[in-house]
């Protein structure tokens, strides 16, 4: 199969449209285009450009005198000394990046091929020690350096913090007592980039795409009032440096940032305000948010034929490379659903509701994909992913307005 066809197929399957290197047969998806500084390089700058070359090169032999604990890449071992970060990270989606829906797609078919596999793992499990196939055909790590258990751990601590056994982190907190005389893992190198939004961009922004960009989170943020006020990805997703990364899957996170209210005046309307969302609400093409209003009778039942709704989200025609619709709410912006019908005689109230379906797109992907699978393990994983995607929706708000 030719590359463009394969890339398209993968895009349809995965819903992550830059899932594969776009250069035909390319083995270094993060390499720079020869000649000019790419948009990616301009945003990332020198340190991050190198830091986020993926797959992240194997760490190599552990430095002399290090204990096995200091040299280990296992998050549990980092947690022996950094228990708070471990406890937080374990509950995050970064720790779930090798999810059934991800892993299940890499077992048979085109995504199981080395180039595609590498393309997918670049963001979900970026360390070379997590890659069952090496960066080139001539190079593959063997166990124990290649570590299947580490692969299953997803986006691990070392994926963000450790390069060639050197540890990198944000400036040390000012309020800490002085560090011990001999800090384990030879201390760490302070990098201001850990507190900047561009740190997150290599995985949450698709760079240099001609045509549509289905994941534009960094630039949405950059143009937002939040960026102008100095609020970064970390301020909202890692408050007090916590490693929780709550997002659209977390009702509380969304409820704290998005207001839903009736607007007074004629006609009656339900208004959603993305008050504290630092990018489009929602940013990615995969979730759907639905605002709806219906009339209610005296027994509390919805009156048939009165339901109206407005969908917030983005639908892309991957084949044509065009938006079919994009009704996402810009940072600070609003979406409005106005009542157009007069009340029915038996109506006693209007009910307004907002539901969030974080995995809308993937559910469809898994439904179509499952019956095509032959491998028993792949089937079991995708069945689990489908089941999970059926349980992730929630009601964000429900408001009643007496007639
Ligand atoms: C044996 C204990 C130990 C282990 C194991 C360990 N660390 Fe550390 N780490 C420390 C200590 C102590 C410091 C310095 C804390 C200070 O400055 O007070 C530190 C500092 C850091 C910092 C810098 C924090 C800052 O203020 O910026 C990062 C990041 C870090 N470690 C990540 C890791 C990761 C990732 C792992 C696993 C791959 C790991 N550590 C394993 C003890 C450990
Ligand atoms: C540029 C980075 C990047 C690449 C490459 C990438 N993903 Fe993702 N993927 C993400 C991010 C970020 C999310 C979470 C998006 C969100 O919630 O906004 C995600 C979410 C997912 C999800 C839904 C969550 C889950 O784990 O069930 C699946 C499935 C998935 N990706 C599969 C794939 C597959 C298969 C490939 C390769 C064809 C791939 N991804 C390549 C960044 C990437
Ligand atoms: C997705 C990337 C990412 C992953 C994965 C990650 N971290 Fe971090 N970590 C960061 C960033 C970014 C900061 C700086 C946050 C800030 O200062 O606002 C940070 C900060 C830290 C600090 C300094 C905390 C403080 O309070 O001063 C330590 C220690 C640390 N991380 C350890 C870990 C450990 C241990 C793990 C795994 C259990 C881990 N990190 C996983 C990105 C990551
Ligand atoms: C190495 C790639 C990588 C980096 C760097 C990274 N992420 Fe992620 N992030 C992912 C992937 C992959 C997922 C989806 C995991 C899954 O569900 O399969 C994700 C998921 C998330 C989610 C959850 C989204 C949801 O659906 O609720 C948030 C929030 C998030 N990341 C924020 C951040 C922030 C903030 C940073 C920077 C401090 C960051 N990420 C850095 C790869 C990355
Ligand atoms: C002002 C606070 C704020 C800032 C700044 C912010 N976010 Fe968010 N983010 C949110 C809220 C609230 C949600 C949940 C609602 C939503 O999904 O849009 C969210 C959701 C997400 C999601 C879930 C997927 C989706 O489709 O929305 C990802 C991934 C994410 N943010 C990444 C980032 C990255 C990367 C940055 C920096 C470039 C960033 N965020 C900056 C508040 C913020």
Q: CA–CA separation, 281 vs 287, rounded Å?
A: 9
Banded model confidence at residue 172, pLDDT cuts 50, 70, 90: very high
277 has a pLDDT exceeding 70: yes
Report the Cα–Cα distance between both ends of the chain, in Å, rounded.
61
Query: What is the rounded distance in angstroms from the CA atom of residue 385 to the CA atom of residue 342?
Result: 43
For residue 264, name the pLDDT band (cuts at 50, 70, 90): confident
Asked if 104 and 385 count as a contact pair (C-beta separation under 8 A), the reply is yes
Q: Is the pLDDT of residue 17 over 60?
A: no
Counting ligands in written order, the one closest to the CA of 280 is 5
Mean pLDDT on 131-145: 76
Q: Please, which pLDDT band fits residue 163 given cuts at 50, 70 and 90? A: very high
| Among 172, 222, 196, 197, CA closest to 331 | 222
Both tokens of 151, joined, read 């692969």
Q: Is the CB of 153 under 6 A from ligand 3?
A: no
* Ligand whose nearest atom lies closest to the CA of 236: 5
Least confident of 169-183, 241-255, 324-338: 169-183
Q: Which ligand is nearest to the CA of 82?
A: 3
Distance from residue 292's CA to the centre of ligand 3 (Å): 40
Going from the Cα of 184 to the center of ligand 1, the distance in angstroms, rounded, reads 7
Q: Is the CB of 82 under 6 A from ligand 1?
A: yes
| Other CB atoms within 10 Å distance of the CB of residue 273 | 18
Ligand 2 atom, smallest distance to 249 CA: 17
- What the block records as the tokens of 192 is 């201001």
Q: C-alpha angle with apex 24: 19 to 25, nearest 5 degrees? A: 90
Ligand nearest the Cα atom of residue 193? 3
The closest residue, in CA terms, to atom 40 on ligand 4 is: 200
Q: Give the residue whose CA is nearest to atom 16 of ligand 2.
A: 284
Distances (CA, A) of 238 to 85, 88, 194, 232, 246: 11, 10, 11, 9, 8
The pLDDT value recorded for residue 138 is 54
Judged by average pLDDT, the poorest of 198-202, 209-213, 234-238, 379-383 is 209-213
- Find where tokens 């078919």 sit: 109
Instruction: Name residue, tokens 């899932």.
Output: 19
Residues in the ligand 5 pocket, defined by CB under 6 Å: 197, 200, 204, 217-218, 221, 226, 231, 233, 235-237, 247-248, 253-254, 257, 276-279, 281-284, 287
């Amino acid at each position: 199969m030719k590359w463009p066809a394969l890339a398209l197929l993968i895009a349809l399957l995965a819903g992550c449209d830059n899932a594969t290197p776009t250069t035909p047969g390319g083995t270094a998806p993060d390499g720079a285009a020869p000649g000019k500084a790419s948009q990616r390089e301009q945003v990332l700058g020198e340190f991050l450009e190198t830091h986020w070359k993926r797959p992240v090169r194997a760490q190599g032999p552990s430095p002399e005198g290090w204990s096995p604990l200091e040299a280990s890449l296992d998050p549990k071992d980092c947690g022996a000394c950094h228990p708070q970060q471990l406890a937080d990270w374990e509950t995050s989606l970064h720790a779930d990046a090798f999810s059934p829906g991800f892993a299940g797609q890499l077992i048979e078919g085109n995504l199981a091929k080395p180039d595609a596999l590498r393309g997918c793992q670049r963001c979900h499990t970026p360390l070379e020690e997590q890659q069952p196939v090496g960066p080139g055909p001539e190079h593959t790590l063997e166990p124990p350096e290649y570590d299947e258990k580490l692969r299953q751990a997803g986006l691990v601590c070392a994926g963000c913090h450790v390069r060639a056994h050197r540890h990198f982190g944000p400036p040390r907190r000012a309020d800490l007592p002085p560090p011990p005389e001999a800090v384990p893992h030879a201390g760490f190198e302070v990098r201001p980039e850990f507190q900047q939004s561009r740190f997150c961009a290599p995985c949450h922004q698709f760079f240099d795409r001609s045509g549509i960009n289905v994941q534009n989170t960094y630039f949405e943020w950059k143009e937002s009032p939040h960026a102008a006020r100095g609020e970064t990805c970390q301020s909202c997703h890692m408050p007090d440096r916590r490693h929780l990364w709550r997002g659209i899957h977390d009702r509380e996170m969304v409820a704290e940032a998005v207001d839903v209210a009736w607007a007074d005046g004629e006609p009656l309307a339900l208004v959603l305000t993305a008050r504290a969302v630092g990018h489009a609400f929602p940013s990615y093409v995969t979730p759907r948010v639905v605002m709806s209003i219906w009339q209610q009778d005296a027994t509390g039942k919805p009156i048939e034929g009165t339901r109206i709704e407005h969908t917030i989200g983005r639908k892309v025609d991957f084949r044509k490379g065009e938006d079919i619709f994009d009704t996402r709410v810009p940072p600070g912006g609003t979406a409005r659903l106005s009542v157009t019908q007069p009340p029915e005689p038996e109506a006693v109230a209007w009910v307004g509701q907002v539901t969030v379906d974080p995995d809308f797109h993937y559910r469809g992907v898994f439904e179509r994909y499952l019956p095509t699978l032959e491998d028993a393990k792949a089937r079991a994983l995708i069945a689990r992913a489908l089941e999970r995607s059926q349980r992730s929706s929630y009601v964000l708000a429900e408001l009643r307005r007496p007639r």
